Amino acid sequence: MANTSSSHDHNANTLDPSAEKVARVYAQAILEAADRKGCRDEVLDELRALGTDVLPKVPKARLVFDSPRVPLEEKTALIDRLSAGRMQPTTTHALHVLARHGRLGMLADVAVAAAKLADELAGRHEAVLTTAVALSADEQQHIVADVEKKLGVALAARFAVDPALIGGLVVRVGDTVYDQSIASGLASLGGKLHRRTINEIQHGRDRLTSA
């Protein structure tokens, strides 16, 4: 069974429309440049790694990227140091363009926008799969494949955990939410996850009792 929910209940971390539009413009230009060089996947990975992995762990570099008071020459030098021998020329060029336009502080947002646009171009639908317990990579892969088969669409999926979830599995594709009864395969899968949740809760109780 499918339930349609309002688009206004997205989480608070969603970009405001104007910032999202700007990020998407740069993302599209970056993807087009990467496609001309045949390095889309590499550029996407490098943008994501720099925007979400490297900069948050290097406060000084993040400050240089974010601050409008830092001269362009200093930002350019930092980009060259970070990218030398590590990044595709297309990625480095994209960073320089963002710096010249005063948008380097939006790098993480541009990386997200580029990944979403790449999924759209590939026909993949953004989806959030919520389970009551954390799953291994193999389990996640199995669930995604099963959901794709049942819904007949390719998914760009991410997983979330909600211990309060009773049914075992909830799938959200865009603004449509599916419970595990959308198909017998998902119902079976949801049941397995539900039983696993119960087992883990019981195991935790046993450990507390023995302690």
- Residues 112, 48, single domain; the answer is yes
- Give a yes or no: residue 3 inside a domain: no
- Residues 84, 22, single domain; the answer is yes
- Residues 24, 102, single domain; the answer is yes
Distance CA 167, CA 187 (A): 9
pLDDT at 4: 33
- The stretches in the chain having pLDDT less than 50 are 1-13, 181-185, 187, 197-198, 201-211
Query: Which region, left, alpha or beta, applies to residue 87 given φ > 0 means left and ψ of -120 to 50 means alpha?
Result: beta
pLDDT at 187: 45
Full-model pTM: 0.64
Q: Tell me if 171 sits within 8 A of 2, measured CB to CB.
A: no
- Residues 148, 202, single domain; the answer is yes
pLDDT at 136: 87
Specify burial of residue 143 (Cβ count, 10 A radius: 0-12, 13-18, 19+). Answer: buried
Show which of 72, 95, 119 is a domain's final residue.
Answer: 119
- Residues 86, 128, single domain; the answer is no
- Residues 40, 103, single domain; the answer is yes
Q: Please give the backbone phi and psi of residue 88, each rounded to the nearest 5 degrees, phi first.
A: -65, 145
- Residues 77, 31, single domain; the answer is yes
pLDDT at 12: 36
pLDDT at 167: 60
For residue 186, give the nearest of 154, 146, 158, 148 by alpha carbon. Answer: 146
Q: Please name the residue that has the structure tokens 């954390």.
A: 134
- Residues 33, 68, single domain; the answer is yes
- Residues 162, 75, single domain; the answer is no
State both tokens at 22. 């700007």
DSSP the chain: -EEE--GGGS-TTSPPHHHHHHHHHHHHHHHHHHHHHT-HHHHHHHHHIIIIIIGGG-HHHHHHHH-TTS-HHHHHHHHHHHHTTTS-HHHHHHHHHHHHTT-GGGHHHHHHHHHHHHHHHTTEEEEEEEESS---HHHHHHHHHHHHHHHTSEEEEEEEE-TT-SSSEEEEETTEEEEGGGSHHHHHHHHHHHHHHHHHHHHHHHHHHH-
Task: Provide the domain count of the chain.
Answer: 2
- Print the domain residue range for 176: 124-210
Amino acid present at 103: R
pLDDT at 201: 42
- Give a yes or no: residue 1 inside a domain: no
- Residues 88, 67, single domain; the answer is yes
For residue 120, give the nearest of 112, 108, 129 by alpha carbon. Answer: 112
pLDDT at 78: 93
- Residues 198, 107, single domain; the answer is no
pLDDT at 126: 86
